[in-house]
Amino acid sequence: GEDLDSLSLKELQSLEHQLDAAIKSIRSRKNQAMFESISALQKKDKALQDHNNSLLKKV
């Protein structure tokens, strides 16, 4: 890493802004991936419930 002591206040604020933006982007992608995973699991759950109900009707 770069020595932060040599950076001006403006450069430090810019770096902080870049880090904040990167964190927001990462959190957004993580949340989107989690929502997609939840949706896929809900669809799988529904399909398994439907299959289970179908099997119960055959008994």
> What's this model's pTM, rounded to 2 decimal places?
0.71
Does residue 9 have a pLDDT over 70? Answer: yes
CB 37 within 8 A of CB 45: no
How far, in Å, CA of 25 to CA of 32, rounded? 11
State the average pLDDT for the chain. 96
Summarize pLDDT for 32-55 with one digit per residue, the tens.
Answer: 999 999 999 999 999 999 999 999
Give residue 1's pLDDT band: very low, low, confident or very high (50, 70, 90): low
